[in-house]
Chain A
Amino acid sequence: MALIALLLLPLLGGLAAYIVAGKGRGDAERWVTIVTLAATLAVLILAMAGSGDGRWMAQVMVPWVPSLGISINFALDGLSAALIAIAAGLGIICVMASWRDIRVDSGLFHACVCWTIAATIGVFMSFDLLVFVFFWEAMLIPSFMLIAIWGHGDKEGAALKFLIFNAVAGFGLLAAVFALASMAGHMTFNAFELAELKLSPTAQVWLLLGFSLAFLVKLSVPPFHAWLPDAHTLAPTAGSILLAGVLLKTGGYGLFRFAPMLFPDGLAVLAPYALALGAAGALYGGFVACGQTDAKRLVAYTSIAHMSIVLMGVAAGVHYALAGAAVEMVAHSFSASALFMLIGALYERTQTRDLRQLGGLQQTAPRFAAAFAMFCSALLALPGTANFVGEALVVVGIFQVNWPFALVALSTLIVSVVYATRLLKGVVFGEARPRHVIDLSWREYVPVIVLSVATLVVGLYPQSLIALLEPAIKAALVLKLP
């Protein structure tokens, strides 16, 4: 039941935020959102503390549309719990980051934030594939509205691109889910039952391609990334935080969870191509990021590079690489969201994100500059940060499988130094432009501290996270070393 509450809390919280905002008193909708998301976190902790069976911390199963064999089948393990915690936590940070920024239609805005989070929570714990698709597509609508209504510039164009790319890719997933379900003797979408099917490798390859279409578009691995730079850049700060911190992770989660579980043989066939795709994507994202002058666009391209590393980790399929991919997803949620929040705060103060027009933050706003330095270090995977753990584990894992690709993965770390220092130099050092920048307020500083501590804790004591993720990593461990 706790799992149902996890879903319903943000869903109803969003509705409540919308309603109280209509009454038009102060910041009620912001507090409602924060309280419901905090309650979601509390329920999550309760669910995690509950008695599990070793593999799953909690499970629930309720029939939904029996005539089509659809049931609500939620299960929670460490990976789901970590990502759900990130979703709810980043939701609170979104509210704090857009406290002053969002003043128009604030009720609907907070409702959209809550509903995006509710839908992603649904994605992270659904094991009925059709319900998974349901949440997969449901999360598009509120996040689409976040971009289309509160974005900047050509927001509607960017939002439409985001919607169409993801919706079209969603059909690949839907068609593959149906094709998979039709192969079972009776109509079922239960992933645990479908995983027991003995499918031929050819069938698995085709079905996995259908699944991967949706996952790779969401993960924005080149050449499926065209929607991401615009969507990230033109979205409001909260939208960028949710996109980078939560929505991209749904793609990584889908690959990590379902590719090895449902299609082990198909994954074995496709893994070398996926490694190559990931390697190319990581290099591409890194190099393009180096050439950006818009700070937000730069971070958007680094997301492409990092998510490509996640793809490589899943494709490599050995223990180190899978652990690395999972840690990298979590670490990237921290660092990318923090950077998007900082850049959003900077834009609010200076009305520009152009690296050529910014600089000298360390003179004008030292706390701001320190925060930037912290997360730029995370971006370049400095040892001691969670990102280092993730990327290092992935590289080590790939070395066990295929050393040339490991060298490529390693070289992306060098590229990351270039773009991260470029961002750092452009914003923090040099001549102070503009002359006066208000330093971070407490509402911005608290999230920065929380995310920094999280990054450092995982970076310095990775076992804290890896122990949590271990059952999910073990379950994804199906490939044999060549």
Chain B
Amino acid sequence: MTADQLIALSPLIAVALGAVAAMLLAPVMHSDRAARFAAATGMAVAALIVIFRVGTPPHPIGALYTDDGLARFGTAYAAMFGLAALVFLRVGNVAKEAPALVALVALGAASLAGAGHAATLFLGLELISLSLIALFAFPLSAAALEAGYKFLVMSGLATSAQLLGVALIYAETGALDFPGWTGQGALFALGGALLLSGLAFKFSLAPFHMWTPDAFEGAPAGAAALAGVVSKAAVAIAILRLNSEASLAQPLWSGGLAALGVASVLIGNLLALRQPLLPRMLGYSTIAHSGYIALILASGAPKAAEAVLFYLGIYAPALTAALCASAMLGQRPTLEDVRGLAKTRPLEATALVIGLLSLAGLPAAGGFIAKVYLFQSLVVTSSWVLLVVAAIGASLGFYYYARFFTAPFVGKSRIEPAPRHRADRVLLIFCAVVILLFGFEPTLLVTAVTTALAVR
């Protein structure tokens, strides 16, 4: 292995070292500060390495891992938002080992983003799933255990479906790396379908979405953020890579993706409509957003990669801000709890409102440009049915987002002002500023995305 290859892998190594250090430190230290520090350092170093490597040409490492811009974007993304989730996982009543698991989720996401081979794909997905099961269940409350258990059972199912799918594809093509996946046979098509359903589970696409709302409601908000932001982005990038490198059975693959996307947009938005629990509403809203991303992926637009990465880049700070604000308000804040929040907890209220504005795709927040990308992808490919579904979904979205983003300004608050940890404050401000910055100056994120995509 050359030095260049080692440098290319160094972000993953940094995250892995962070995870190992956190795991070793957790039992010997009294508080979880050391473990958290180790995991955070690993992820921060990984993100910095990726940022310093901007513009360097890719180094081939072997069949298992691809060091291209897509992988780098995914790695930096996983490291940064894993770090963000780690910040507010603290309020979730988790064990001392939790930071190690967060780093492992980030590691899984990073390897998934660079996966050009079935083995890495499987490894990444499993690393994410197994760590998330433990993270979901950590508070050991009934709701958390339910979330963890549901995820465990469904994750097992999804994993076996996906393994079988890869096996069938291998039987047909004799290849495990994506470029070798070409064929027409029925087994190949079935394999592709099974693989898609396995990925759809992690992507929380309907009808594989059942675990999402429970996880958002019962699990600590930080763990939900990992599932909703980090792991989802990694899966989206993996599908992006499958789209470009493998030639899976068409129109089954794109059609299936479109069908899942349509179902998610409609089901997610409809179930969120009357949902009074803030975290559960966010859970349904992530299902809808997965649907929108799936629609872009299914459309096959020439700029689909740019659109998906832009969408993910906007979506992450928005969902993180909303989830972090929600975590600051207690385990299960309701619409009633959010009322009048602007007076008692102005920072949480601001971050929540800006995050929800962005998720709703309204202007001034970055979500508007993300919506523009979504619509543009669907229009240039003349996917009129998908366009109508996306428009219906986004219109439904206005209703429930509006219920929550106006509530902080009306009525009397039931929530008392409380001191916040410095890190939470920094995270909330950071997310809100980033959302507004990308809303007014989207070129920044567009440049980041196109720079990343240029490295191939």
Is B395 located at the chain interface by the 8 A CB criterion?
yes
User: Using Cβ atoms and an 8 Å threshold, which residues of chain A touch B306?
Assistant: 67
B398 partner, pick from A68, A105, A138, A167, beta carbons under 8 A: A167
For the residues of B in contact with A, the DSSP-based class is: helix
A162 to chain B, nearest CB (A): 10
Interface bits A127-165 vs B (CB < 8 Å: 1, else 0):
000100011011011001100110000001001100110
CA distance A181 to B306 in the complex (A): 19
User: Using Cβ atoms and an 8 Å threshold, which residues of chain B touch A64?
Assistant: 442-443
The residue among A105, A137, A182 with the most chain B CB atoms within 10 A of its own CB is A137
> Number of A interface residues, CB 8 Å?
33
**Cβ contact within 8 Å between B363 and A175:** no
Interface bits B371-403 vs A (CB < 8 Å: 1, else 0):
111011001100000010001001100110011
Give residues in B with beta carbon < 8 Å to A.
306, 342, 357, 362-364, 368-369, 371-373, 375-376, 379-380, 387, 391, 394-395, 398-399, 402-403, 406, 409-410, 442-443, 446, 450
**Cβ contact within 8 Å between A137 and B368:** yes
Interface bits A157-189 vs B (CB < 8 Å: 1, else 0):
001100110011001001100110110000000
User: Using Cβ atoms and an 8 Å threshold, which residues of chain B touch A144?
Assistant: 402, 406
Is A376 located at the chain interface by the 8 A CB criterion?
no
Given A67-B306, A145-B409, A171:B395 Cβ within 8 A: yes
B444 to chain A, nearest CB (A): 10
A172 to chain B, nearest CB (A): 8
A164 partner, pick from B363, B387, B395, beta carbons under 8 A: B395
**Cβ contact within 8 Å between B409 and A174:** no
User: Which residue of chain B is the closest to A112 with respect to CB atoms?
Assistant: B409
**Cβ contact within 8 Å between A138 and B369:** no
Known: A64-B442, A178-B379. 16 other contacts (CB 8 A): A64-B443, A65-B442, A67-B446, A68-B373, A68-B376, A138-B363, A148-B410, A156-B406, A163-B402, A167-B395, A168-B395, A168-B398, A171-B391, A174-B371, A178-B376, A181-B379
**Cβ contact within 8 Å between B369 and A174:** no
Given A137-B363, A160-B399, A163-B402, A66:B443 Cβ within 8 A: yes
User: Which residue of chain A is the closest to B387 with respect to CB atoms?
Assistant: A175
User: Which residue of chain B is the closest to A141 with respect to CB atoms?
Assistant: B362
**Cβ contact within 8 Å between A137 and B362:** yes
Is A108 located at the chain interface by the 8 A CB criterion?
yes
CA distance A64 to B445 in the complex (A): 12
**Cβ contact within 8 Å between A130 and B402:** no
**Cβ contact within 8 Å between B446 and A65:** yes
User: Using Cβ atoms and an 8 Å threshold, which residues of chain B touch A67?
Assistant: 306, 443, 446, 450
User: Using Cβ atoms and an 8 Å threshold, which residues of chain A touch B442?
Assistant: 64-65
User: Using Cβ atoms and an 8 Å threshold, which residues of chain B touch A148?
Assistant: 406, 409-410
User: Using Cβ atoms and an 8 Å threshold, which residues of chain A touch B371?
Assistant: 174
**Cβ contact within 8 Å between B406 and A159:** yes
B364 partner, pick from A66, A70, A138, beta carbons under 8 A: A138
The residue among B363, B368, B376, B395 with the most chain A CB atoms within 10 A of its own CB is B363
**Cβ contact within 8 Å between A65 and B369:** yes
**Cβ contact within 8 Å between B406 and A145:** yes
User: Using Cβ atoms and an 8 Å threshold, which residues of chain A touch B375?
Assistant: 174-175, 178
CA distance A138 to B368 in the complex (A): 10
A337 to chain B, nearest CB (A): 25
User: Using Cβ atoms and an 8 Å threshold, which residues of chain B touch A70?
Assistant: 372
Give residues in A with beta carbon < 8 Å to B.
64-68, 70, 105, 108, 130, 134-135, 137-138, 140-141, 144-145, 148-149, 156, 159-160, 163-164, 167-168, 171, 174-175, 178-179, 181-182
CA distance A68 to B363 in the complex (A): 16
The residue among A135, A145, A171, A181 with the most chain B CB atoms within 10 A of its own CB is A171
Lowest 3 A-B CB distances belong to which pairs?
Answer: A138-B363, A178-B379, A171-B391
**Cβ contact within 8 Å between A68 and B402:** no
User: Using Cβ atoms and an 8 Å threshold, which residues of chain B touch A164?
Assistant: 395, 398-399, 402
User: Which residue of chain A is the closest to B449 with respect to CB atoms?
Assistant: A67
**Cβ contact within 8 Å between B409 and A149:** yes
CA distance A156 to B409 in the complex (A): 11
- Ordered by A's residue number, 12 sampled pairs between the chains whose C-beta atoms are within 8 Å are A65-B369, A65-B446, A66-B443, A68-B373, A138-B362, A141-B363, A148-B409, A148-B410, A156-B410, A160-B403, A171-B391, A171-B395
User: Using Cβ atoms and an 8 Å threshold, which residues of chain A touch B446?
Assistant: 65, 67-68
CA distance A178 to B371 in the complex (A): 12
B372 partner, pick from A108, A130, A159, A167, beta carbons under 8 A: A130
B94 to chain A, nearest CB (A): 36
CA distance A178 to B299 in the complex (A): 15
User: Using Cβ atoms and an 8 Å threshold, which residues of chain B touch A156?
Assistant: 406, 410
User: Using Cβ atoms and an 8 Å threshold, which residues of chain B touch A160?
Assistant: 399, 402-403
CA distance A64 to B368 in the complex (A): 14
**Cβ contact within 8 Å between B410 and A149:** yes
User: Which residue of chain A is the closest to B379 with respect to CB atoms?
Assistant: A178
CA distance A168 to B342 in the complex (A): 28
CA distance A134 to B306 in the complex (A): 21
User: Using Cβ atoms and an 8 Å threshold, which residues of chain B touch A159?
Assistant: 406
CA distance A141 to B409 in the complex (A): 13
User: Using Cβ atoms and an 8 Å threshold, which residues of chain A touch B357?
Assistant: 141
CA distance A181 to B406 in the complex (A): 34
User: Which residue of chain B is the closest to A171 with respect to CB atoms?
Assistant: B391
Given A137-B362, A141-B364, A105:B380 Cβ within 8 A: no
CA distance A260 to B446 in the complex (A): 34
User: Using Cβ atoms and an 8 Å threshold, which residues of chain B touch A134?
Assistant: 363, 368
User: Using Cβ atoms and an 8 Å threshold, which residues of chain A touch B443?
Assistant: 64-67
User: Using Cβ atoms and an 8 Å threshold, which residues of chain A touch B379?
Assistant: 175, 178-179, 181-182
Given A65-B442, A66-B443, A156-B410, A171:B362 Cβ within 8 A: no
A28 to chain B, nearest CB (A): 19
User: Using Cβ atoms and an 8 Å threshold, which residues of chain B touch A171?
Assistant: 391, 394-395
User: Using Cβ atoms and an 8 Å threshold, which residues of chain A touch B372?
Assistant: 68, 70, 130, 174
CA distance A108 to B349 in the complex (A): 14
User: Using Cβ atoms and an 8 Å threshold, which residues of chain B touch A175?
Assistant: 375, 379, 387, 391
User: Which residue of chain B is the closest to A67 with respect to CB atoms?
Assistant: B446
B397 to chain A, nearest CB (A): 9
CA distance A179 to B382 in the complex (A): 9
B185 to chain A, nearest CB (A): 37
User: Which residue of chain A is the closest to B382 with respect to CB atoms?
Assistant: A182
CA distance A167 to B397 in the complex (A): 10
**Cβ contact within 8 Å between B409 and A163:** no
User: Using Cβ atoms and an 8 Å threshold, which residues of chain A touch B394?
Assistant: 171
User: Using Cβ atoms and an 8 Å threshold, which residues of chain B touch A137?
Assistant: 362-363, 368
User: Which residue of chain A is the closest to B360 with respect to CB atoms?
Assistant: A167
User: Which residue of chain A is the closest to B399 with respect to CB atoms?
Assistant: A164
A29 to chain B, nearest CB (A): 16
CA distance A144 to B402 in the complex (A): 9
User: Using Cβ atoms and an 8 Å threshold, which residues of chain B touch A174?
Assistant: 371-372, 375, 391
CA distance A137 to B394 in the complex (A): 13
A70 to chain B, nearest CB (A): 8
CA distance A175 to B368 in the complex (A): 14
B50 to chain A, nearest CB (A): 22
A132 to chain B, nearest CB (A): 11
User: Using Cβ atoms and an 8 Å threshold, which residues of chain B touch A105?
Assistant: 342, 409
User: Which residue of chain A is the closest to B378 with respect to CB atoms?
Assistant: A178
A59 to chain B, nearest CB (A): 22
User: Using Cβ atoms and an 8 Å threshold, which residues of chain A touch B399?
Assistant: 160, 164
A322 to chain B, nearest CB (A): 30
User: Which residue of chain A is the closest to B371 with respect to CB atoms?
Assistant: A174
